[in-house]
Amino acid sequence: MRSIISLELLKNLQDRGLLFWMLLLPILFTVLFISVFTSGTEGVAREQVILSIVPGYTVMFVFFILITMIANFIKDRELGMTARIASTPLPAYKYLLGKWIPYMYIVFVQILVLLLFGKLVYDIPLEQPLSLLIVSLLLTFTVTGIGLALSLLVKTNNMGIAITQVIALGGAVLSGLWMPIDMMPSFIQSFSKFLPQYWAHQAFQQGMEGTMQTSDILLPASVLLLYGATAFTIAILRYPAFLKMARG
């Protein structure tokens, strides 16, 4: 399994496109939207906007890793690499873990960089670093888990891009990542409770402000863990069908 992890990391580190999608674009959007939404505001109001946008855009942009993950799996499937690896002694679950874990590293680093950017440039509070670390790890697990499941479910790259847009952008709107959830209609507020983005965003905000109690982390952690574990189970169950589609 370590062989796949190191190969995948090596591949991804050489991919400059990934650097753009995962770090440069989110930073650009964060700067742009903060400057738009804070123009004419000062003091507490400005801080509140920043405190919502930095974690909100972090949560939104980590979902774009789905595109890279889907493309990578489809490439492996079409080039015959999936079939070739299936002929080796490597068990299916190790193959999936080996492909999954490098993306966990990438997304985790992405979250850290985006939060640190917020701290350095906008001086956002990071009052409960341990809580923030736990939420970051859980979000990483969830996002990449969903990416893994989708990678094995989706048939084409275009389909993958379309689904990613729906999940990332649709989830952002419905979870209050773009504007405060209190401003949304009540049915959307109810619906948002089923989305991982909502829980990650809420937990990040609480951890930043320092208002998170030990018991407060249990619900978001459970939701995020449940999403990630369900996604990995789907991936394991889907793998035989994915292998059947593989060339080679």
Partner 1 sequence: MLKLNQVKKQYGKNVALRDVSLNLSSGKCYGLVGPNGAGKTTLLKIIASIIQDFHGSVEFTNSPQAYSKELIGYIPQEICLEETVTARDNLSFFGKVYGLKGQMLRTRINHVLNDIGLTEKAKHRVNTFSGGMKRRLNIGCALMHTPDLIIMDEPTVGIDPQSRRYIFSMIEKLKDEGCTIIYASHYMEEIEQLCDEAIFIDKGMVVENDRVDVLLQKYVTPSIYLKGENCIPEEKGDFSLSPRKDGYLLLTDNPIEVMQRVIIHCKNHATQPEQLELSQARLEDVFFSLTGSQLRD
Residue 3 lies near partner 1 (rule: CB under 8 A): yes
Is residue 237 involved in binding partner 1 (CB under 8 A)? no
Binding mask 185-224 for partner 1 (x = CB under 8 A): ----------------------------------------
Residues 64 and 59: their CA atoms lie apart, in Å, by 10
- Taking the C-alpha atoms of residue 110 and residue 102, their distance in angstroms, rounded to an integer, is 12
205's enclosing H/E stretch is: helix 196-209
Q: Is 178 in contact with 198 (CB distance < 8 Å)?
A: no
Stretch that binds partner 1, among 61-69, 81-89, 174-182, 226-234 (CB under 8 A): 81-89
- Segment 6 to 25, residues that bind partner 1, using CB under 8 A: 7, 10-11, 14-15
Q: How many residues does the chain have?
A: 248
CA distance 138 to 133: 9
Q: Which is nearer to partner 1, 86 or 184 (CB)?
A: 86
Q: Considering the rule CB under 8 A, would residue 83 count as an interface residue with partner 1?
A: yes
By the rule CB under 8 A, 84 interacts with partner 1: yes
* 79 near partner 1, rule: CB under 8 A: yes
Report how far Cα 157 is from the mean position of its chain's Cα atoms: 18
Query: In whole angstroms, how far apart are CA 37 and each of 7, 95, 169, 240?
Result: 42, 44, 18, 48
List the one residue from 17, 45, 80, 130 that touches partner 1 (CB under 8 A).
Answer: 80
Residues that bind partner 1 (CB under 8 A): 2-4, 7, 10-11, 14-15, 79-81, 83-90, 240, 243, 246-248
